[in-house]
Amino acid sequence: MIDLTLGEDPEILDSGTSGAEGIAELAAAVRSATRGLPVMVSPGLAGPSALQRYAAAGVDWYACYQETHCRALFERLRPGQSFDARWQAKLDAQRLGLLVEEGILCGVGEGIPEIAESVAWMRKLDADQVRVMSFIPQPGTPMENHSAPDFRREIHVLAVLRLAFPDTLIPASLDVEGLDGLKRRLEAGANVVTSLIAPDAGMQGVANAGLDIGNARRTAEAVLPVLRSLGLNPAPEQHFQLWMENRRSRTGCSIVGRRRSCALR
Per-residue confidence (pLDDT) for residue 262, from 0 to 100? 62
3-state secondary structure of 101: strand
Per-residue confidence (pLDDT) for residue 72, from 0 to 100? 96
Angstrom distances, CA of residue 52 to CA of 1, 46, 49: 20, 10, 5
Please state the CATH superfamily assignment of the domain spanning residues 2-264 in this structure.
Aldolase class I (3.20.20.70)
Q: pTM for the complete prediction?
A: 0.90
Strand partners, 39: 2
The per-residue b/e assignment along 122-151, b for 16 or more CB within 10 angstroms, e otherwise, is beebebbbbbbbbbbeeeeeeeeeeeebeb
Strand partners, 128: none
Alpha-carbon dihedral angle through residues 265, 91, 251, 257, given to the nearest 10 degrees: 30
Per-residue confidence (pLDDT) for residue 39, from 0 to 100? 97
- What does the pLDDT look like over 156-208, one tens digit per residue? 999 999 999 999 999 999 999 999 999 999 999 999 999 999 999 888 888 88
Strand partners, 264: 193
Q: Residue type for 66, please? A: Q
pLDDT bracket for residue 258 (50, 70, 90): very low
- What does the pLDDT look like over 92-140, one tens digit per residue? 999 999 999 999 999 999 999 999 999 999 999 999 999 999 999 999 9
Mean pLDDT of 243-264: 62
Angstrom distances, CA of residue 26 to CA of 40, 62, 263: 11, 15, 23
Per-residue confidence (pLDDT) for residue 260, from 0 to 100? 46
